[in-house]
Amino acid sequence: MRAVKLNGLMFMLGLFAVWELVAQAELINPLVVPPLSKILKIFFELLWSGQIPAQIVVSMKRALLGYFLAAAVFIPLGILMGLYQPVYRVCEVVVEMLRPVPPPVVIPVAMLFFGLGDEMKIFVIFFSCAWPILLNTIDGVRNLDWVLLNTARTFGLSPGKICWQVILPACSPQIITGLRVSLPIMLILVVISEMVGSTDGIGYFILDSQRRFRVAQMYAGMLSLAILGYALNQIFNLLHRRLLAWHWGMMTKME
């Protein structure tokens, strides 16, 4: 197994080496594909100078606000819709009407209302992350076993306590799935909304670099985006492991 993993690493490094040589020899237009070394050099420069981190912070502020707003609204709504069939039926048509709207298409609407500011991006992300969170929460509640609910009742718990102490923890794995699926959606939409209508943020940075033909800088931006995506994933898993240690243990045992 190790040998195979090593081969994968060697293959990748080999690929990078080829890239470097080809670019340096100008076999490919360096304006389109600069040497890897140049990209990395600029990447680290921008990292130390704080320019890239600053843009990332700007983007993440918007993104996370939209994300948590969506969670704060759609998890409770999902619980209500999952528990009470009447609530579900009332909301169902509206949800099914809004769902097929591809999230980026909402950007012009948001721009109409909010201009080019932070609110526009927050709104777009709020809308885009809504559906995975909502649908997964509803699913989680619906899959609750009646034995669990009746256990809570037999111990004399009030409805409020049942919700907080039993329903929420029991559904949390499914809710986490919804939050996990929404994470890349959040990242994609913040980038798109910044490319379409913004003056800052990592998405804007990448597009702007392209417009100014600062190509190495553009690739550096993309690299930082990839790292950001990876980091978000790892942080999410860490939180999953910490907050839902019981579920994490159960999941990893099953494999």
Partner 1 sequence: MNPVSKFNWPGWLAFSVLLLLWETASRALPGLRVYIPPISQILASLGQLLLSGAITNHLTVSLVRFVEGYLLAAAIAVSLGIILGYFHYLHSLLEMLIELLRPMPSVAIIPVAILTLGLGDSMIVAVTVYACLWPILINTIDGVRNIERTLVDTGRTFGLSAGRILWQIILPGASPYIVTGLRIGLSIALILVTTAEMVAGSKGLGFFILDEERSMNSSNMYAGIILVALLGYMLNRGFVLLERKTMKWRHGMIARGAR
Partner 2 sequence: MPILEVQGLSKSYRQAGGEMTVAIGNISCRIEAGEFVSFVGPSGCGKTTLLMSIAGLLAPTSGRVIVKGQEVVGPPPNLVLLFQEYNKSLFAWRSVLGNVRFGLEARGDHSADAETKARALIDLVGLRGFENHYPWELSGGMQQRVAIARALAYEPEVLLMDEPFGSLDALTRLDLEDTLLRLWAELKTTILFITHDIEEAIYLSDRIWVLSRRPSEIVQELQIHFSRPRNQVTTRTEARFMEIRNDIYRRIANQDAP
32 binds partner 1 (CB under 8 A): yes
Q: SS3 for 102?
A: coil
155 binds partner 2 (CB under 8 A): yes
Measuring CA to CA, how many Å separate 230 from each of 87, 115, 224, 235, 237?
A: 38, 31, 10, 9, 11
Nearest to 49 by CA among 231, 198, 205, 208: 205
Binding of partner 2 by 159 (CB under 8 A): no
- Binding span for partner 1 by CB under 8 A among 67-75, 85-93, 136-144, 163-171: 85-93
Contact 125, 190 (CB under 8 A): yes
Determine how many CB atoms are found less than 10 A away from the CB of residue 119: 16
| 148 touching partner 2, by CB under 8 A | yes
Q: Among 65, 69, 80, 109, indicate the residue that binds partner 1 (CB under 8 A).
A: 109
Task: Provide CB contacts within 8 A for 181, sequence distance 6+.
Answer: 132, 136
The reply on whether position 113 binds partner 1 by CB under 8 A is yes
At position 158, the amino acid (one-letter code) is S
Whole-angstrom distance, CA of residue 3 vs CA of residue 185: 35
Residue 151 or 237 with smaller CB distance to partner 2? 151
78 binds partner 1 (CB under 8 A): no
* Interaction partner, residue 246 (partner 2, partner 1, none; CB < 5-8 Å by kind): partner 2
Query: Is 21 or 245 the residue whose CB approaches partner 1 more closely?
Result: 21
Cα separation of 154 and 178, whole Å?
31
Q: Is 207 in the site for partner 1 (CB under 8 A)?
A: yes
Regarding 246 and contact with partner 2 (CB under 8 A), the answer is yes
Residue span binding partner 2 (CB under 8 A) among the ranges 9-17, 119-127, 162-170, 216-224 = 162-170
- Whole-number minimum distance, CB 239 to partner 2, in Å? 15
Q: Where are the alpha helices (DSSP H) in the chain?
A: 2-24, 36-49, 51-83, 85-98, 106-114, 118-142, 146-154, 159-162, 168-196, 202-211, 215-243, 245-254
Contact set with partner 2 (CB under 8 A): 145, 147-148, 150-151, 153-157, 165-166, 169-170, 172, 244, 246-247, 249-250, 253
What is the contact surface with partner 1 in residues (CB under 8 A)?
Answer: 4-5, 7-9, 11-12, 15, 32, 85-86, 89-94, 97, 100-109, 111-113, 184, 187-188, 191-192, 195-196, 203, 206-207, 209-210, 215, 218-219, 221-222, 225-230, 233
